[in-house]
Structure 1
Amino acid sequence: MTSNDRPRAIADVSSGTILATVTIAVPPERVFHALTAEDQIPLWWGSDEQYRTTRHIADVRPGGAWRSEGKGADGEEFHVQGEYLEVDPPHRLVMTWKAPWDGDNVTTVVYMLEAVEAGTRLTLRHQGFGARKESCRAHGSGWEHVLGWLGDFLTSEGDDKPQAVFHCRLIPPRPDFAFTMTAAEEALMKQHSDYLHRKLAEGRVLLFGPVADPAGPWGLGIVRAEDEQGARELTEADPAVRSGLGFRYEILPLITAVT
């Protein structure tokens, strides 16, 4: 990420307040949009190793409600929600924060955006934890990740898109897998599909879906990457492969690709 600094968060458990900052090399207007737009937050808020936001609903006005939904790396679904208290684009955004994993306690998040020579200095204050010291510490660590994801997403937008295209064939652990899946395997396939949908939204996957091969269905993905190693890294992060159940990808480069 091109920025003056990496995200840093300090949790002051004595006051129940978190203060986090990051400098991002894009204008405040772009940062504010990424923090509020319904189609933006699912693109950057999360990672495959921790959790992914899959849906964001936002009525961005004072008194308007917002809600984010997602799924953890373990497949467990979650949500967090709140209400906008102040909306002053592109300078300030204040909203309440209510999460089931935090006992549905209501806290307040304040984003402050300042234009600087390097782009935007984003300062976040999350307050109202009271005596819940462990929750304050955990959220502080979480905000460092979140601001890092935001910065990486925004400063990578100008990068040239990789040009190589690869045919990726997902071979299941048995030929009749598509017809004999257990409930656990069906849940795994949902995680696999969610993962590829995210990569589709990012532009890394051009298309994907099952192929009706008479010898047994298999999965097809057409992937864009800088090189074969990049394609392999993308496929190895697929929950199906990571499950250890015997899924594997065969990867072949396209000689030419017309889109």
Structure 2
Amino acid sequence: MLQLSLPQAMANADTVMASAELPAAPDEVIAALVTREVERWWGSPETYRMIGWNADLRVGGSWSVVVETADGQQLPASGEFLEIEMPRRIVQTRRYGWDHPALGRQETTVAYLLEPIAGGTRLTICHGGFAGFPDAAAEHAEGWARVLGWLQGYLGGGGRAA
């Protein structure tokens, strides 16, 4: 059985890097990240939940989701898929449809890189486009560490249907 270490994340002036070892095959991890399955695990009652996930999973296809905060606000986010190499790599743009306190509506790019390892998958996230927004980069590094913790718990049996 894969001995899971805590997710790691860090940021510099432009880019956030985060990684985690996950107890699932790469195709299961990809499904959790880019299908309606995100609604099952991405968030918590104390923070926010993802609702209304919609994606056209092809290069040039769009995706959208609504971030529903703990106090009931509904904040849209969306983007486009730039690269898809199933199940090893997906690159997509991300833009908030609201004025994020540290980032505004600046478009960023998220790359999910998946590597098979014994007992599962190493997921590395490279989230770029934060030049000029160092506070947003630091905030997103903390956010990715939290999200990867949720994903570890979910894929480890904390929420998936058998």
Q: State TM-score, norm by structure 2.
A: 0.91
The answer for the alignment partner of 1:51 in structure 2 is 48
The answer for the alignment partner of 1:208 in structure 2 is none
Distance 1:11 1:150, change over 3 A: same
Inter-partner Cα distance in structure 2 for 1:24 and 1:103: 32
Q: Which amino acid aligns with 1:132?
A: F
Distance 1:49 1:117, change over 3 A: same
The answer for the alignment partner of 1:10 in structure 2 is 10
The answer for the alignment partner of 1:32 in structure 2 is 30
1:60 equivalent in alignment to 2:57: yes
Inter-partner Cα distance in structure 1 for 2:138 and 2:128: 12
Pairing partner for 2:84 from 67, 87, 101: 87
Inter-partner Cα distance in structure 2 for 1:122 and 1:34: 12
Shift of 1:4: 2.6
Higher relative contact order (CA 8 A, sep 6+): 2
1:42-97 deviation per Cα after TM superposition (whole angstroms, max 9, x unaligned):
00110001001122010010000001113111111112110000011110000001
Residues paired across the two proteins, number = 156
Distance 1:64 1:138, change over 3 A: same
Inter-partner Cα distance in structure 2 for 1:129 and 1:3: 33
Inter-partner Cα distance in structure 1 for 2:126 and 2:49: 22
Q: Which amino acid aligns with 2:24?
A: V
The answer for the alignment partner of 1:178 in structure 2 is none
1:116 equivalent in alignment to 2:117: yes
1:4-53 deviation per Cα after TM superposition (whole angstroms, max 9, x unaligned):
3111100112xx10000000111111101111112x01001100010011
Distance 1:66 1:3, change over 3 A: farther
Inter-partner Cα distance in structure 2 for 1:4 and 1:76: 34
Inter-partner Cα distance in structure 2 for 1:3 and 1:24: 9
Q: Which amino acid aligns with 2:115?
A: E
For structure 1, the 5+ residue unaligned runs are 160-201, 204-259
Inter-partner Cα distance in structure 1 for 2:67 and 2:137: 21
Counterparts of 1:196-235 in structure 2, within 5 Å, are none
Inter-partner Cα distance in structure 2 for 1:21 and 1:70: 22
Inter-partner Cα distance in structure 2 for 1:108 and 1:9: 16
Taking only aligned residues, the RMSD between alpha carbons, in angstroms, comes to: 1.6
Identical counterparts, % of pairs:
37
Which is richer in helix?
Answer: 1
For structure 2, the 5+ residue unaligned runs are none
Q: State TM-score, norm by structure 1.
A: 0.58
